[in-house]
Chain A
Amino acid sequence: MFKILEANELATNIFQMIVEAPRVAQACLPGQFLIIRVDEEGERIPLTICDYDREKGTVEIVVQAIGAETFKLGKLKAGDSLADVVGPLGKPSDLCEESIDELKKKKIVFIAGGVGTAPVYPQAKWLKEQGVDCDVIIGAKTKDLVILEDRFKKVCNLHITTDDGSYGRSGMVTKALQDLWDEGNKYDHCVAIGPMIMMKFVCKLTQELGIPTIVSMNPIMVDGTGMCGACRLTVGGEVKFACVDGPEFDGHKVDFDQAMNRMKLYKTEEGRLMLKAQEGDTHHGGCGNCN
């Protein structure tokens, strides 16, 4: 069992937790992920790592409740435990491999969308610790959904944009990137993490602007160690497993349309289970899948 030390709701249905997981905390690097199970009957949920403390042996996760399983997770409080936390999985970010001098010469921009803001944080923080500056663009639907703002301000040059213009700049992250570019910010490395549709359009823009772009893919997974192949993607015409070959890939080579399509695989089944979980004993069909 893995004890939850802290649990907060950062915004509506976006939950942050600090969990005891000494082996993961000891070994993880920015870019990697972990898999949790809420309880003994739980599904395996892959989540990105938002922060870690090697001395305390803790990891921080941020998760948006979107299905039966993540709603269950969101209900847990400090003092409760998760049945399983396993990781770190996947490869660390390429940035961790590069020489610090090289990194210092680069103008790096991170583009974070929605709950994808969380996995950008450890990368920006890590760069700061190495003495490397970077820009971060956080995109959210509206002001209330902007998360981790204060912590980002301490580690980067932060730009916020909201779809409805209720906070920061107005419009999608692609508009913010284009505007910053036009304002004279000639980036030469981009990392985009967020919903697949956002990453797709960021990649389209950065291709036009000629900025090499890394994306972090979050497809359906089961074991997370390469065994099942559920998370396979086409990258540059080759089949890759996000769990062991990624999760980060060259965004200009990823087949996003195929990846987005594959996300629909269990939509109806998941929806049925979610309705069942929400309605409990009162669920008597109506979801279109039950008898």
Chain B
Amino acid sequence: MDGFVRVPVREQDAKVRATNFQEVCLGYNKEEAESEAQRCLNCKNPKCVQGCPVSIDIPAFIQQVKEGDVEGAYQTISKSSALPAVCGRVCPQESQCEGQCVRGIKGDAVSIGKLERYVADTARELGIKPEGAKEKKGKKVAIIGSGPSGLTCAGDLAKMGYDVTIFEALHEAGGVLVYGIPEFRLPKDAVVKKEIENVKSLGVKLETDVVIGKSVTIDELMEKEGFEAVFIGSGAGLPRFMNIPGEQAMGVFSANEFLTRSNLMKAFDENSRTPIMRPKKCVVVGGGNVAMDAARTALRLGSEVHVVYRRGEEELPARKEEVGHAKEEGIIFDLLTNPVEIHADENGWVTGITCIRMELGEPDESGRRSPVEVPGSEFEIECDAVIMSLGTSPNPLISSTTDGLEVNRRKCIVAQEENGQTSKPGVFAGGDAVTGAATVILAMGAGKAAAKGIDEYLSNK
């Protein structure tokens, strides 16, 4: 192998995986990982670390992999990340660490994500746990939400010696890692549960079934339950719909509902007690990572799947790898297409969707070229289900029940980027609740920054 090409990673065959929920990517084995690690140039000024939202010491852990020291590599990563097995799978490495890799200038970047995954998976098999705090600080911090930002913030604070409790609204911890991202990208029992156990092994307490703002408010946590600081990592929120005719027909779902049924409630399994519709032909509206997850889930439930997106291929917000996987599996992309109306039969079940062709006009504020309808180009796609994957708007549960917590025009919580501080003393926030829907690793970065911010705040108090 010359140094310009990365060691390929084994995957389940596209035809086979399109019919099961097992993980698509099989990861590196020892030989593959050590061989790929050889490609790292161990740069003096490592650009990859700058590209990582949680600043993992990437060259250091890769050197340890090279030497066969998986435990050392795991502890190196654990200093910066609470969820390496998750990040190795779902981070958009191509635009972060790997996007900065010097190797990428001529040839392939080092496969940092796959190496991280190898280290985390091997450490898990060997029963290696992250190192906890040596001394306790005796101060209580509440974390709201057990998704990526909350788990990261909790893990970091516990390592510093704080007494941390996570409050989770659902019956299971993990947030988007359990309700949103499907099994075939991120196995729940084998990976997510184990990562959460690792965070708990640092001394973090977890209380599920608590809806902050309903079961108890932030003010009550601070005044009555003795929490000296609070981190809000409550996630994205309410699914958006298009407000087109027919959207309340039976067979129209939000991607959140479809994915929650399949992932959290395990409805993909025939024996699950939670039902899910298994469409014959389904249209997924939207082009983000969540749309890809919904489309690939519907496909595995036995459906022909069309992704309808109003812009072109270049503009698809989903990761290239996800789009590629979806195409390999047989998902059809109807690009530059936008829905205008959903049709239903006399009993209210979806029978089809009328769409209109679009063309790209001038770039909008976000720099993306905005799509414009082509007059008279309407056409119908027959289908029995429509899954709307159009993003979310913030859930007002917390902001409306917490005195003095400022939200912006888009109803997202206002928090300082460098330390997560909100307008309310002692209250910090990060992740999708602050930024709107983004990625797992950005939420983790925000959780990390907030842990630092909370430590500074409590140390000076």
Task: List residues of A whose CB falls within 8 A of some B CB.
Answer: 23-24, 26-27, 37, 41-44, 68-69, 83-89, 222-223, 225-230, 232, 234, 239, 241, 244, 258, 261-262, 264-266, 269-270, 273
Cβ of B332 under 8 Å from chain A: no
**Which chain A residues border B261 with CB–CB below 8 Å?**
222
Instruction: Kindly name the residue among A68, A229, A264 whose own CB sees the greatest number of chain B CB atoms within 10 A.
Output: A229
Contact B209 A85 (CB under 8 A): yes
A262 to B349, alpha carbons, bound, how many Å?
Answer: 9
A-B pairs, top 10 by smallest CB distance, nearest first, are A269-B275, A228-B257, A86-B209, A229-B254, A266-B275, A261-B348, A23-B215, A229-B239, A84-B171, A43-B274
List 8 other contacts, CB 8 Å, given A27-B214, A244-B396.
Answer: A23-B215, A42-B273, A86-B211, A228-B254, A228-B260, A229-B239, A261-B348, A262-B250
Task: List residues of B whose CB falls within 8 A of some A CB.
Answer: 169-171, 179, 208-211, 214-216, 237-239, 241, 243, 247-248, 250, 253-254, 256-257, 260-261, 265-266, 272-277, 347-348, 395-397
Instruction: Kindly name the residue among A41, A226, A228, A258 whose own CB sees the greatest number of chain B CB atoms within 10 A.
Output: A228
A217 to B248, alpha carbons, bound, how many Å?
Answer: 16
Contact B215 A86 (CB under 8 A): yes
Contact A227 B256 (CB under 8 A): yes
Closest B residue to A83 using CB positions = B171
B182 nearest CB across to chain A (Å):
16
Instruction: Kindly name the residue among B210, B237, B238, B253 whose own CB sees the greatest number of chain A CB atoms within 10 A.
Output: B238
A179 to B72, alpha carbons, bound, how many Å?
Answer: 81
A188 nearest CB across to chain B (Å):
30
A70 to B395, alpha carbons, bound, how many Å?
Answer: 30
Q: Is the interface of B mostly helix, strand, loop or mixed?
A: loop
**Which chain B residues border A43 with CB–CB below 8 Å?**
265, 273-274
Given A43-B265, A69-B273, A269-B275, also A232-B171 (CB < 8 A): no
Contact A270 B250 (CB under 8 A): no
**Which chain A residues border B171 with CB–CB below 8 Å?**
37, 44, 83-84, 86
Contact A273 B211 (CB under 8 A): no
Contact A229 B265 (CB under 8 A): no
**Which chain A residues border B348 with CB–CB below 8 Å?**
258, 261-262, 264
Contact B248 A232 (CB under 8 A): yes
**Which chain B residues border A258 with CB–CB below 8 Å?**
248, 348
Contact B170 A230 (CB under 8 A): no
Contact A239 B215 (CB under 8 A): no
A37 nearest CB across to chain B (Å):
6
Q: Is the interface of A mostly helix, strand, loop or mixed?
A: mixed
A83 nearest CB across to chain B (Å):
7
Contact A229 B241 (CB under 8 A): yes
**Which chain A residues border B260 with CB–CB below 8 Å?**
222-223, 227-228
A87 to B179, alpha carbons, bound, how many Å?
Answer: 19
Closest B residue to A227 using CB positions = B256
A85 to B209, alpha carbons, bound, how many Å?
Answer: 7
Closest A residue to B211 using CB positions = A225
A190 nearest CB across to chain B (Å):
26
**Which chain A residues border B272 with CB–CB below 8 Å?**
41
**Which chain A residues border B238 with CB–CB below 8 Å?**
226-227, 229, 241, 244
**Which chain A residues border B179 with CB–CB below 8 Å?**
223, 227
A269 to B251, alpha carbons, bound, how many Å?
Answer: 13
**Which chain B residues border A241 with CB–CB below 8 Å?**
238
**Which chain A residues border B214 with CB–CB below 8 Å?**
27, 87-89, 225
A68 to B272, alpha carbons, bound, how many Å?
Answer: 12
Given A226-B395, A229-B256, also A234-B275 (CB < 8 A): no
Closest B residue to A40 using CB positions = B171
Given A83-B171, A225-B169, A239-B248, also A23-B273 (CB < 8 A): no
**Which chain B residues border A69 with CB–CB below 8 Å?**
273
Contact B257 A222 (CB under 8 A): yes
**Which chain A residues border B256 with CB–CB below 8 Å?**
227-229
A-B contact pairs, 11 of them (CB 8 A): A41-B266, A43-B274, A222-B274, A225-B395, A226-B237, A228-B257, A239-B248, A261-B250, A261-B348, A264-B250, A273-B275
Contact A223 B273 (CB under 8 A): no
**Which chain B residues border A266 with CB–CB below 8 Å?**
275, 277
Closest B residue to A222 using CB positions = B260
B159 nearest CB across to chain A (Å):
28
Given A223-B260, A230-B257, A234-B248, also A89-B275 (CB < 8 A): no
A222 to B216, alpha carbons, bound, how many Å?
Answer: 21
Closest B residue to A233 using CB positions = B248
Closest A residue to B348 using CB positions = A261
**Which chain A residues border B347 with CB–CB below 8 Å?**
261, 264
Contact B397 A227 (CB under 8 A): no
A86, A228, A270: the one contacting B169 at CB < 8 Å is A86
Given A225-B169, A227-B256, also A87-B273 (CB < 8 A): no
Instruction: Kindly name the residue among B215, B247, B272 whose own CB sees the greatest number of chain A CB atoms within 10 A.
Output: B215
Closest A residue to B236 using CB positions = A227
Contact B211 A89 (CB under 8 A): yes
A232 to B254, alpha carbons, bound, how many Å?
Answer: 10
A86 to B397, alpha carbons, bound, how many Å?
Answer: 15
Contact B273 A41 (CB under 8 A): yes
B216, B273, B397: the one contacting A225 at CB < 8 Å is B397
Contact B209 A84 (CB under 8 A): yes
A226, A265, A269: the one contacting B250 at CB < 8 Å is A265
A269 nearest CB across to chain B (Å):
4
Contact B170 A223 (CB under 8 A): yes
Closest A residue to B259 using CB positions = A228
A220 nearest CB across to chain B (Å):
9
Contact B237 A27 (CB under 8 A): no
**Which chain B residues border A37 with CB–CB below 8 Å?**
171
A234 to B238, alpha carbons, bound, how many Å?
Answer: 16
B7 nearest CB across to chain A (Å):
39
Closest B residue to A37 using CB positions = B171
A36 nearest CB across to chain B (Å):
9
A59 to B179, alpha carbons, bound, how many Å?
Answer: 28
A138 nearest CB across to chain B (Å):
29
A250 nearest CB across to chain B (Å):
18
